[in-house]
Structure 1
């Protein structure tokens, strides 16, 4: 039995984007719909307010589209207020995020 698209993307994030965790950032796949091809990833922790978070978001979008045939649309959200909470997923990533509107790729 194969892993879900969300599980495969989570595994990909751990392998392809270790720099996020190494710098105290977090990431979590909030949506991964294999039927529509839509994926939503949220960054948090030290990604919040980081001057290169938009570069990281652009790289994630580009690479997910290239590495997953079924993915057709990627949204990477970068909160401007940081990680609020202790709930995490594999690799110390994830958590509940507090959001605030900032710019195009921020909420």
Structure 2
């Protein structure tokens, strides 16, 4: 078992496995990673908002996180349909104070 938290490991995984998000102007942030329940919440922003294939990206993230992390049992990926996204990013498109709507963006 790693000394890093589940959230840190998922963030690191996102940097390595999902560089396409940043390459296309998108951002992502891990909002929750509960080691006890196995639930992970990832939020996509930037150009992911309104992107026609963000549902495919979200499904790939869901599937791959569950496959790559034994302790992850449920993954929720939130994609804003409109609104402001955080401007600050760090490596791999991480960061920002992304804001998602409470209503589904129609993808999930």
Give TM-score, length-normalised by structure 1.
Answer: 0.88
Gaps (5+ residues) in structure 1?
none
| 1:87-106 superposed Cα distances (whole Å, 9 cap, x missing partner) | 4454342212233333252x
The answer as to whether partners of 2:86 and 2:99 remain within 8 angstroms in 1 is no
Match in the other structure for 2:44: 43
Equivalent runs, 1:42-81 vs 2, <5 Å: 42-81=43-82
Q: Secondary structure at the match of 1:40?
A: strand
* Residue-pair matches, total: 105
Unaligned runs of 5+ in 2: none
Structure 2: distance between partners of 1:83 and 1:17: 22
What displacement does 1:11 show?
0.3
SS in 2 for 1:15: helix
User: Equivalent residues in 2 for 1:14-25 (5 A)?
Assistant: 14-25=15-26
Contact 1:44 1:94 in 2 (8 A): no
Q: Paired residue for 1:103, among 87, 103, 106?
A: 106
Give the conservation status (yes or no) of the 8 Å contact 2:21–2:93.
Answer: no
CA displacement at 1:51 relative to structure 2: 0.3
**TM superposition score normalised by structure 2:** 0.87
Higher relative contact order (CA 8 A, sep 6+): 2
